Structure 1
Amino acid sequence: MADEPSADHLFPAVRPGAITLARHGEPALSRKIRLNAPAYGEWWARYEEGGLLPGQTPPASLLTTAQRAGVIVASTRRRSIETADAVAAGRVFARDPLFIEAPLPPPPWPPWIRMSPKNWGFFARFWWWFFDHHAGQESRAEADTRADQAADLLIGLSENGQEVLLIAHGFFNTMIGLSLQKRGLKKTLDQGFKYWCVKRFERV
């Protein structure tokens, strides 16, 4: 008597969909200024509330990814929502504070030290990452936990085979990507850290 076909043969497992992490478009707030540490803290607070610089066009590749995605998710920051609006072509997308950027409190340096927001961002991230300087905001350990939660949520959304597109923030996307890789996904595309750029992760 021939062997009966197994349930796995009759109903093969669904291959999880790809997960794409996109950085938002360019914000409107100018970086062409020099600030001391307290002023940078105020600048970052305005950056967190602001939207996109007008007149931008999403890359064709990101539009294609959005069309292919079964679900699109954005953080609750305005710059992420406006980016999602630009690529979703009228589709409804989810908004979740789980995906907001990790904080950037400036190091407590003397007020005579003045730098551009770009340089302050680098040193603030360095102090936050290596010295756990969080000034009462989210710590690195807390952000690591949040990144793991975000990765688990995205994996869950992709398990039925649909592709998932997250539109969020540069550094926290990197942290989510590390969590995805710890969970066995492989980075198959990395466009870097510029605005509108993406990183793609898949089960291989």
Structure 2
Amino acid sequence: MTLQGATISGQPSVFARARMRLVRRSRRHAYTQAALRIVLVRHGRPAISTKQRTGHLGFSDYIDAYEAAGLDPSSVPPEELQDLAKGLSAIFTSQRPRSQESAKAIAPHAELITDSLFEEAPLASPKIPLIRLGVPAWAVMSRLLWHAGYHPEIENYRRAKQRAKSAADILIFKAQEDGTSALVAHGYFNAMIGRELARRGFKKTGSHRVRFWNAVVYELG
């Protein structure tokens, strides 16, 4: 059996190849001509203190508590961020409470589209005995070791990078539909998505900082 536009050998005919080239060109043209905007926002301050010193076992427990924490009720999004979210019918979030509650605080009118794809790149507490450090110092050390290959029973950098590419695909698709898409998620993974968007030609306004409610806007076209 043969298919229309294909040869018996299974290779597409000259006409079929020409049609495929035309479709690819039209898609590239539509992608580059449409004005797209993607807003990446870090969540607000979680309801858990970072001002504590602990050993590696304590930091391991802290990671779990941080992931389960919701938004600190006293942490309010800046007015300019709320203005930026006006007009959005939907906002993407991760499954973490601090992400979802932050999105509701920014745009209470918007539908939340929650997906584990947008979770933070994970950390594991390094088993370094006999030292006590502040939580921020443990986090920096853990992230450096994660990049160096320390990922016991957690997602590694290669897989997180692939996840960031998939996240960028979703955000771009939504922006192609609505002109703008927004994600309220996590600082480090947002930066990974941002690097993927930059690789695809998006220009950014702002920078990824270790700051709650930090927003970076990526635009194309």
Same fold (TM over 0.5): yes
Counterpart-to-counterpart distance in 1, 2:59 and 2:208: 28
* Structural mapping, 1:138-177, within 5 Å: 138-177=155-194
Q: Is the 8 A contact 2:125 2:138 kept in 1?
A: yes
Residue 195 of structure 1 pairs with residue 212 of structure 2: yes
CA positional deviation for 1:161: 4.4
Of 82-91 and 115-124, deviating more is: 82-91
Q: Partner residue of 1:15?
A: 34
* Structural mapping, 1:106-185, within 5 Å: 106-110=125-129, 112-129=130-147, 131-185=148-202
Q: CA RMSD in A?
A: 1.6
- Where do 5+ consecutive residues of structure 1 fail to align? 1-11
* Alignment equivalent of 1:105, drawn from 103, 120, 124: 124
- Where do 5+ consecutive residues of structure 2 fail to align? 1-28
TM-score normalised per structure 1: 0.88
Runs of 4+ in 1 over 2 A off after TM superposition: 68-71, 188-193
| 3-state DSSP of counterpart to 1:159 | helix
TM-score normalised per structure 2: 0.82
CA positional deviation for 1:66: 1.1
| 3-state DSSP of counterpart to 1:167 | strand
Counterpart-to-counterpart distance in 2, 1:42 and 1:75: 21
Counterpart-to-counterpart distance in 2, 1:16 and 1:151: 16
| 3-state DSSP of counterpart to 1:194 | coil
Task: Among all aligned residue pairs of Structure 1 and Structure 2, give the percentage whose two residues are the same amino acid.
Answer: 37
| 3-state DSSP of counterpart to 1:152 | helix
Q: Partner residue of 1:24?
A: 43
| 3-state DSSP of counterpart to 2:53 | coil
Residues 60-93 of structure 1: per-residue CA shift (max 9 Å, x gap): 1110111133531111100001101101123222
Higher relative contact order (CA 8 A, sep 6+): 1
Query: Which protein has the larger Cα radius of gyration, Structure 1 or Structure 2?
Result: 2
Counterpart-to-counterpart distance in 1, 2:173 and 2:208: 24
Q: Is the 8 A contact 1:15 1:159 kept in 2?
A: yes
CA positional deviation for 1:182: 1.1
Counterpart-to-counterpart distance in 1, 2:165 and 2:174: 14
Q: Partner residue of 2:104?
A: 85
